[in-house]
């Protein structure tokens, strides 16, 4: 297993080496060149790791027909814009994979300036002729993981360590809470907003604070390391995490992992770009697309509980069940989804309210 803290320390070197690859473009002048920019280090688990697994799937599919330029741990803003410009202007990329919501506006500007380069962008909501977005329906796997949390909690208090309060994250926390309430109507949820995709120290401090407030299940949302998962294992509380299977970091207390997979979508988009059939569009993959799944469910769940979770997964996959079927109420008790209705995709993509049962307010 790679050590993720060591990987953080070597990121600056990795960036330098990756950018240096542009000087060798002549050596692979016929290869289809793809630039990848990740907001955090691509270690053995987490968001950037899953983006990089998508890259590996592309290379496995296309072999020496493709060339990769990878830059990791790039914060939103001027650094990301500079690297995109460099990839477009001097490194001859044919396509870019932008791995952070915050890259959206700079990416769109560069896509307009370089219409021959195709872009796919994570978690955004803006598209153009050569600029697509990709998302996963993590609220589906969150609902199932939340059900598991409702089964195992003794304190009826769940603590969430979350990144930014963007609609995708809000939808995940809401889906998780609704799932927990489906198996345990008494639960309450506390949230710590980190305002960061990658801050292991602050994530661990927040996890310990939530445990001190009686949380006996932690939910790590888009913390691109096993930081919260490791604290849960040390402190003896259950934990659920996003993006990757983190069982190896909490063999005794991992309750479930919400796995994502970009491989099929990435390969499809690269093929379209190679064939000049790429068209800006929005992809939102769920269980039915095999883009999200629930992995490593705890053996502490009973056979009956696991059977219920499996049936729920089957119903979500087939479209029989939506995590946001009404009635759904917000924190103030206002009905947001009427009984028997479902929250529309458009409403979910712009969701800016938390469901009843979540004590913490959204940051202003």
**Can you tell me which residue has the tokens 């990848």?**
36
- Does the structure show a pLDDT above 70 at 16? no
Closest of 43, 41, 141, 139 to residue 99, by C-alpha: 41
**Number of C-beta neighbours around residue 244 at 10 A:** 25
pLDDT at 29: 53
Query: What is the per-residue pLDDT across 223-234, written as a single tens digit (0 to 9) for each?
Result: 878 999 999 999
Q: Are 189 and 180 within 8 A, CB to CB?
A: yes
Mean pLDDT of all residues in 171-188: 98
Q: How far is CA 127 from CA 109, 248, 270, 281, 311, in A?
A: 11, 38, 17, 6, 36
pLDDT at 30: 78
pLDDT at 278: 98
Which domains, from first to last, does the chain contain?
Answer: 32-136+262-286 (3.40.50.2300), 138-259+291-350 (3.40.50.2300)
Mean pLDDT of the chain: 91
Q: Are 243 and 49 within 8 A, CB to CB?
A: yes
Higher model confidence: residue 27 or residue 146? 146
pTM equals 0.87
């Amino acid at each position: 297993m790679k050590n993720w803290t060591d990987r953080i320390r070597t990121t600056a070197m990795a960036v330098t080496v990756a950018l240096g690859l542009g000087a060798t473009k002549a050596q692979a002048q016929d290869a289809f060149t793809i630039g990848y920019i990740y907001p955090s280090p691509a270690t053995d688990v987490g968001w950037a790791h899953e983006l990089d697994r998508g890259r590996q799937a592309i290379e496995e599919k296309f072999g020496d027909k493709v060339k990769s330029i990878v830059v990791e741990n790039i914060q939103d803003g001027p650094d990301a814009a500079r690297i995109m410009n460099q990839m477009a202007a001097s490194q001859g990329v044919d396509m870019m994979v932008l791995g952070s919501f915050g890259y959206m506006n700079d990416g769109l500007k560069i896509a307009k300036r370089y219409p021959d380069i195709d872009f796919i962008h994570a978690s955004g909501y803006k598209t153009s002729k050569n600029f697509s977005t990709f998302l996963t329906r993590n609220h589906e796997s969150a609902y199932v993981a939340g059900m598991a949390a409702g089964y195992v909690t003794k304190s009826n208090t769940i603590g969430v360590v979350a990144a930014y309060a963007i609609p995708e994250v809000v939808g995940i926390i809401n889906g998780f809470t609704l799932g927990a309430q489906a198996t345990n109507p008494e639960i309450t949820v506390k949230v710590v907003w980190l305002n960061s995709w990658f801050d292991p120290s602050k994530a661990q401090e927040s996890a310990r604070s939530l445990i001190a407030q009686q949380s006996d299940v932690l939910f790590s949302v888009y913390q691109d390391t096993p930081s919260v998962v490791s604290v849960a294992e040390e402190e003896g509380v259950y934990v659920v995490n996003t993006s990757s299977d983190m069982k190896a970091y909490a063999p005794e207390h991992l309750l479930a992992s919400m796995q994502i997979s970009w491989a099929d979508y990435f390969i499809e988009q690269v093929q379209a770009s190679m064939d000049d059939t790429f068209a800006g569009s929005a992809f939102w993959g769920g269980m039915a697309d095999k883009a999200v799944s629930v992995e490593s469910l705890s053996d502490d769940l009973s056979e009956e509980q696991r059977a219920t979770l499996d049936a729920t997964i089957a119903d979500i996959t087939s479209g029989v069940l939506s995590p946001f079927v009404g009635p759904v109420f917000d924190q103030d008790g206002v009905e947001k989804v009427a009984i028997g209705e479902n929250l529309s995709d458009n409403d979910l993509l712009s969701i800016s309210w938390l469901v009843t049962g979540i004590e913490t307010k959204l940051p202003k």
